Structure 1
Amino acid sequence: MKNLNIKNNQVTKSFLLFATVLLLIHCTTPKKVKFKDPVDTKDKQITYQAKKTYQFEKLGVWVSNEFEGAHLNGASQINDSIIVLKFNPENIPINKSPYYAFKTWSDTPKQIYFGFDYPEGFEHRYKPKQKLNGNWSIVDSLDLIELDERLLLKLKVDKEPRIIAAQEINASENVRQWYLQNIVASNDFVRVKSVGNTKLGKDMPVLDIYNGNPEGKPIIVLLTRQHPPEVTGYFAFQNFLKTIVDQSELSIKFLNHYRVLAFPILNPDGVDLGHWRHNANGIDLNRDWSKYRQPEVKNVVSFITNTSKEDNGKIVLGLDFHSTYEDVFYTNETRAGTTLPNFIDDWFLLLEKNIEGYKVNEKDSNSNKPVSKGWFLYGQNATGITYEIGDHTPKERIVQIGSTSAKAMMEVLLKENL
């Protein structure tokens, strides 16, 4: 009996030691990364929009921001045909890229002019898109009028509510439905996990993708929606990811050798609140990749680094999908001595070869500010790229670039793995 007790105690101690090690692995605070130009990412106060439906009885018109992803701070009638809409950022300083999204309808068909009122110093950036009967389209440029330094949108309204927005709205629930239906449903090698919650309690999903055993597989990280309105980058992410999991011969071979961690929405709070750029704490998440003061970045970095440690998988590549005025790839100058020193040149060469008439627009510089591509370089000695799609790049072009760049990436990385 004494020997049995000794053995039981030894088993108990071994189990406790094992559990403690696992706990330490999961609770380890990720290592901070130094940048030349640090940014203060401590919480800053934001101003919430008042959720409201504005009724203009004499006109028989209604304007509302009572939906996820809306942004409207006020509405006032100027005359019998003009309604001025006010749009303010969640806080300042902030990028001068005003975001707007509102719903409107009327009791009888009529033509209304909507004036866009931005704070002083802010200029119109995004061409209006319209969602009517479930379908999105771009508003005709002939219906946009500049008058007295104010943009007017001429719109025919009726009983059918329509949304007018800077970009197509893809709120957190839309994103969840998309990846469940298009990425997870028919692919048992895609595992949906959570990396934690945001300030407002929203889930932060990650799709963990690989075939077979994850042990030792090099890791590719895909990120998107750090900045809420940057939807064209999200569209490229969608097509990139769909191509990786399409179960083609290339896809199967790739996922036999590599592991992909895909984060489909890093800033669900900001997206659903209709923010111009920041999260619910008033911070640009793509300036927090140093000290991880914001829960979104801390959760993501912790998951990536812990996953790498647990399964001995080296982080080799990070692609962060964004939107800007034009299609462009922002890369790091430092490549020699990194995990994939030749990847960028080989990838871009193949991308240009596979899209007729396409020329990669690359801008290279090492990141001075704490952005994701710098974190991959300085924190992981990996290749980091900010993958930007133009605000108004046609959807067909985004599909082509997203899919072709994913195929080119897989081909290049499989050659690296030989």
Structure 2
Amino acid sequence: MTQIPAKYVWVICLLFFAISCAGVPKVRFESPVDTSSKAIEPQIKRTFSIPNIGVYASNEFDGARLNGFTALNDSTAKVVIKPENTPINNSPYYAFTIWSDNKRPFYLTFEYPKGFKHRYTPKLGRSGHWQIIDSSAVFKKDSIVTIKLDLDKEPITVAAQEIQSSKDVSDWYMPFVTDISYVQKNILGKSTLGRDLVVLDINKPSSQKKALVVLMTRQHPPEVTGFYAFQAFLETILDNSELANAFLDRYRVLAFPLMNPDGVDLGHWRHNAGGVDTNRDWSKYRQPEVRHTVDHIHSIMKNEDLELVLGLDFHSTWYDVFYTNTKREGTTMPQFVDDWFGALEKNIEGYKVNEQAGNSKKPVSKGWFLYGHNAVGITYEIGDATPKQQIEKFGTVSSREMMKLLINQ
């Protein structure tokens, strides 16, 4: 047996280490984005008070965002809202509780850093119930927004969107894990701040060879309406109907219900605890949320010899829209997008699909599905102000029509 010279041993070891750590292949995009971690400005948790008038505000809960609270006069306070870092999208998110020693009308004027404008219509939460603020209580002067509240000793939560913290999300999905034998909760790894990164592995026993469908949401913390569509979509897959059972006989679903738990619980406008938009990290996987997700998907595909055919990423924006890839010929399901959208318009009265097609230049998830797996990738966006009942209908119908099409593949 020939002995390897000692001087070459370290070279061989180095090569072996490099190969073993190569991990999941990176995906090339035309316009790379630097997703190295960046410093964030921590939000100081506290209860603010204006003692002389007996009004208080607090950000001491998960999902809160309030950076300052000062009196402008006896009936008005300034609410200061700052992002976690910059540059950042114009999506000023806020959430806080407010109350008063005495029953009284009170006004709040929102202040954002220069260059940012008010985006979200306030939602008011009290005793677990939410409602949109009455339009007559919202006053706009140029870019300045002021709202009127009727305060008393019971705190009101004022938020850009209804609060859906990591605990709220867990409370929603855990009954599925507990009650449905083929739904398994797995921990992919930890976020930067040590929160669990969760996937729901939906794998109904079947004698048929399966393909893989991936669903994900909340890469961007305030995008709660997209999460509501994700909820309705997944609940329809798990409703034990004849359609759902036939679908799950042929497909395995990996559902990621909270892609950015740090950002959600910290009340971030858009980024994770690394100060990065995770939906720009689908190339080199520098952030733990994306890295663990990609590693898990690839591990499942490799170990089970599964083909990834469809990826849906649920978001929110100013209006309902589907962002699709233009390239379809030669992908897993070349006709899926057209057939799916046609089915939605046929089965939702008066509904017209708003599609914006374009192959992703930046490293976003829908581009990763296409370039990394030759699969159909769609960003499923729900409007900020789309009514919840309408969201549930969209989510339910789109899930049913997706299952019907995939069963017939």
CA contact (8 A) 1:323 1:390 kept: yes
Between the aligned partners of 1:187 and 1:250, the Cα distance in structure 2 is 17
Indicate yes or no: 2:254 matched with 1:261.
yes
CA contact (8 A) 1:128 1:139 kept: yes
Which residue does 1:91 correspond to in 2? 85
Indicate yes or no: 2:177 matched with 1:193.
no
User: Residues 115-154 of structure 1 correspond to what in structure 2 (within 5 A)?
Assistant: 115-147=109-141, 149-154=143-148
CA contact (8 A) 1:214 1:259 kept: no
Between the aligned partners of 2:284 and 2:112, the Cα distance in structure 1 is 33
Deviation at 1:133, TM superposition (A): 1.2
Which residue does 1:393 correspond to in 2? 386
Which residue does 1:6 correspond to in 2? none
Indicate yes or no: 2:220 matched with 1:227.
yes
Aligned-CA RMSD value: 1.5
Indicate yes or no: 2:355 matched with 1:362.
yes
How many aligned residue pairs are there?
392
Which residue does 2:100 correspond to in 1? 106
Indicate yes or no: 2:269 matched with 1:276.
yes
Deviates more, 1:208-217 or 1:392-401: 208-217
- Give CA-to-partner distance per residue, 1:195-222, whole Å, 9 cap, x none: 1110000001100102115984100000
- Give CA-to-partner distance per residue, 1:240-294, whole Å, 9 cap, x none: 0000010000000100110000000000000000000000000000000000000
CA contact (8 A) 1:372 1:384 kept: yes
CA contact (8 A) 2:213 2:310 kept: yes
CA contact (8 A) 2:216 2:255 kept: yes
Which residue does 2:236 correspond to in 1? 243
Secondary structure of residue in 1 paired with 2:179: coil
- Give CA-to-partner distance per residue, 1:318-372, whole Å, 9 cap, x none: 0000000110000000000011111111111111111111111111000000000
Query: CA separation of 1:415/1:25 partners in 2, compared to 1, >3 Å: closer, same or farther?
Result: farther
Between the aligned partners of 2:52 and 2:142, the Cα distance in structure 1 is 25
Secondary structure of residue in 2 paired with 1:195: strand
CA contact (8 A) 2:209 2:250 kept: no
CA contact (8 A) 1:216 1:312 kept: no
Deviates more, 1:53-62 or 1:26-35: 26-35
Deviation at 1:154, TM superposition (A): 0.5
Regions of 4+ moved over 2 Å: 24-28, 183-186, 213-216
Indicate yes or no: 2:31 matched with 1:37.
yes
Deviation at 1:26, TM superposition (A): 11
CA contact (8 A) 2:206 2:250 kept: no
Secondary structure of residue in 1 paired with 2:73: coil
CA contact (8 A) 1:220 1:315 kept: yes
Deviation at 1:30, TM superposition (A): 1.1
Which residue does 1:348 correspond to in 2? 341
CA contact (8 A) 1:331 1:364 kept: yes
Residue identity in the other structure for 2:86: I
Deviates more, 1:204-213 or 1:246-255: 204-213
Between the aligned partners of 1:214 and 1:303, the Cα distance in structure 2 is 23
Query: CA separation of 1:30/1:284 partners in 2, compared to 1, >3 Å: closer, same or farther?
Result: same
Query: CA separation of 1:170/1:27 partners in 2, compared to 1, >3 Å: closer, same or farther?
Result: farther
CA contact (8 A) 1:223 1:264 kept: yes
Deviation at 1:148, TM superposition (A): 6.2
Which residue does 1:300 correspond to in 2? 293
Secondary structure of residue in 1 paired with 2:230: helix
Which residue does 1:178 correspond to in 2? 172
Which residue does 1:80 correspond to in 2? 74
Deviation at 1:55, TM superposition (A): 1.2
CA contact (8 A) 1:214 1:311 kept: no
